Structure 1
């Protein structure tokens, strides 16, 4: 009798989804880095979601062997959902349109999902502007945070993450209200990873899976973006109150800085007329500067002189985030009827209740 061996396990297929809006300056490099994976058989397909671009983004995308999907300008959450719902594969890999994938970025994520209990795996960044001081500071801070992240995490960024399609189906995709408008950054990736862990799934972090990123090089534009981050973080934590004290990426030292910055601004009028107001303002500023020390000791720039610039950098960013959080409290702390409905629908989806 001839014994028959079991059939070989079929390798899971992977679809890549790239959301983007007005990304003509970065999209070509992004696609050049991932299209070779189609020929190598690592990707079954690439789907680019043009989220309401007004430049020649879509024209650039159509030069490549990718499926171009026309979005509505609903933000990254809506664009990601359009993409993965039209994808054909078991695994969905997301990267951003301003990222350049390293050749082994995907292959370093896939082994994590060989564990059936792991529903997603995310990676880290490389710096595409090493000659820029601002980009280097931003990058080295991110890498310092990534170095201390454990294998099992409760937070994964959407810039380089691989999810099972079954998880995306189960959680009904990304929350489309977690955005600041067309083309603006949102918290939909944070919210999704929080919900995944809350639903009992494991998420893994892989430091050696990297995509190069076009980190900001203009300080004012960066601070404006950080204000947007502060604003949508309020919405995120109103919906995920258990993460207010921190997650796998950030901690209480980070979260206390924006409120301290706003408190110091509020003390300026009192400092002009009272001595205790001056003391209080000085103490708040000193404390805010001191809170930059833990990260200062973690980042790895070429010299200490460069590293020391992180202190004023982090100090200014705390004010930008604080202003954004104040705007967020005004907007989301007293929601309109439409926003209240969105919040109820969000919680209904989390709990598996039909809205």
Structure 2
């Protein structure tokens, strides 16, 4: 595969773990993109799946790579090292790419050689469950407010493309992080003055949110552990502390009591949709707090 005069060779990297429910739709969407097929390679990095993921992937004209060590950071690193593209684009196995996703990402690199990353946008795949409808309403992966955050700018790696030289300059994803590896990588990217980021909302993917409340709890528990690990890794830059954590738990308790009063003692009953959203909000916050507290204790124990 060789680049032409206008379009570079692009590698699309997809980490996957037990993704039999979603990986086929992801690959079908990538193969249907309007970017020239000879100028793209699609790599699926299987992170020790035990379901039918491998069988599904191998039915498509894509590269299949096995990674024995679990962890999305490790899987992405394996994809980077196995890839050949000048531009590396990332998408997750539970996402579907828009037809112009890759073309729009690549376009962002053409006008400025200092652009090291082009960030697309992520919107909700049509929801099937109440948990998915709740997350679609929250829209947590909308990139613009994160990229432009004055305190801790970051980007959602799934729907972002990088020049290969970025990884040579600032390193790979941290394999020790169970979550928030993208936030960590973003921090290193934004601290490097050689690169700039471009935001192109026309480069769009569609994300399948977690199906159930327990799935949502587990997702945010992992996010909480990841943020605790970042606080431990960068104590001078990301301050938190036990007092702030106690205030967060107090806020969580207030939310729980308010939901309980509304459900039991209110003369005006909540609409079912509003009640379920309040419940899922509590589930999400509880997962994050449990994960964060566990992560803080774990890191303090290691330090001690």
**Aligned twin of 1:349:** none
Q: Does 1:40 align with 2:36?
A: yes
Separation (CA, whole Å) in 2 of partners of 1:129 and 1:135: 8
**Aligned twin of 1:215:** 209
Separation (CA, whole Å) in 2 of partners of 1:286 and 1:128: 28
User: If you compute each CA radius of gyration, which structure gives the higher value, 1 or 2?
Assistant: 1
Whether the 8 Å CA contact 2:216–2:283 is kept in 1: the answer is: no
**Aligned twin of 2:283:** 316
2:238 corresponds, among 230, 241, 244, to 244
| Distance change >3 Å, CA 240–CA 141, structure 1 → 2 | farther
Q: Does 1:28 align with 2:24?
A: yes
| Distance change >3 Å, CA 264–CA 89, structure 1 → 2 | closer
**Aligned twin of 1:330:** 297
Q: CA RMSD in A?
A: 3.2
TM-score using structure 1 length: 0.71
| Distance change >3 Å, CA 144–CA 214, structure 1 → 2 | closer
1:51 corresponds, among 47, 50, 63, to 47
Q: Report the CA distance between 1:206 and its aligned residue.
A: 2.6
Separation (CA, whole Å) in 1 of partners of 2:166 and 2:105: 16
Q: Report the CA distance between 1:64 and its aligned residue.
A: 0.9
TM-score using structure 2 length: 0.81
Whether the 8 Å CA contact 2:135–2:209 is kept in 1: the answer is: yes
Q: Report the CA distance between 1:208 and its aligned residue.
A: 2.9
**Residues 1-355 of structure 1: matches in 2 within 5 Å?**
9-37=5-33, 40-41=36-37, 43-114=39-110, 115-142=112-139, 146=143, 148-149=145-146, 154-179=153-178, 186-200=179-193, 201-241=195-235, 244=238, 259-263=246-250, 285=254, 306=273, 310-335=277-302
Separation (CA, whole Å) in 2 of partners of 1:144 and 1:83: 23
* Number of aligned residue pairs: 284
| Distance change >3 Å, CA 148–CA 288, structure 1 → 2 | farther
Q: Report the CA distance between 1:152 and its aligned residue.
A: 8.8
Whether the 8 Å CA contact 2:10–2:41 is kept in 1: the answer is: yes
